[in-house]
């Protein structure tokens, strides 16, 4: 089983969106039983809370239901459990590097590495912006999810 962890700041906008979109993609592609997905935040601001209502609304408009997800904080044990630890931006990546145990850093990547066709390298935090920011996050996440699944198929399955 391949295990993927998506990480953002508070685990209520970007990483649960990636979690839900990628889960739907792997299920649609018939590999849902081979890939386990989770999401977490680098900070404990929203532990136990549902994804942001704006994230849920934007995702649901594209057929992705995030309502069952709950925020949690990333922990050092995650680096042992997951094969991919994917950060939404450089700040998240730096926070992950600070708690990453020795020998596990190769698992850390920016999520948008899997969408090299995009001009962006980071998934921007839509929390303080308008609704269009959540749509943009979905666009980026959908593109990177396809690339990630292709990478897993080529290198892990």
Exactly one of 14, 38, 54, 72 is catalytic; name it: 14
Which one has a higher pLDDT value, 29 or 156?
A: 29
3-class DSSP state of 11: coil
Whether the per-residue pLDDT at 130 is higher than 90: the answer is no
The CATH class for the domain spanning 2-155 reads alpha beta
Q: What is the tens place of the pLDDT at every residue in 94-125?
A: 999 999 999 999 999 999 999 999 999 999 99
pTM, full prediction: 0.97
Q: Is 151 a known active-site residue?
A: no
Quick check: 110 and 90 in contact, CB under 8 A?
yes
Exactly one of 38, 52, 78, 125 is catalytic; name it: 125
Quick check: 3 and 82 in contact, CB under 8 A?
yes
Q: What is the tens place of the pLDDT at every residue in 7-46?
A: 999 999 999 999 999 999 999 999 999 999 999 999 999 9
């Amino acid at each position: 089983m391949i295990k993927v962890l998506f990480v953002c700041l508070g685990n209520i906008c970007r990483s649960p969106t990636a979690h839900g979109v990628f889960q739907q993609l792997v299920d649609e592609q018939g590999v849902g039983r081979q890939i386990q997905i989770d999401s977490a935040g680098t900070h404990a601001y929203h532990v136990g809370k549902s994804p942001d209502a704006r994230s849920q609304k934007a995702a649901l408009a594209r057929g992705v239901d995030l309502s069952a997800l709950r925020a949690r904080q990333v922990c050092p044990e995650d680096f042992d459990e997951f094969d991919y630890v994917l950060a939404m931006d450089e700040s998240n990546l730096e926070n992950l590097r600070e708690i990453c145990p020795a020998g596990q850093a190769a698992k850390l990547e920016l999520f948008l590495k899997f969408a090299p066709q995009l001009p962006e390298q980071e998934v921007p935090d839509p929390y303080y912006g308008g609704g269009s920011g959540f749509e943009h996050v979905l666009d980026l996440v959908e593109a990177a999810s396809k690339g990630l699944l292709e990478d897993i198929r080529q290198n892990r399955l």
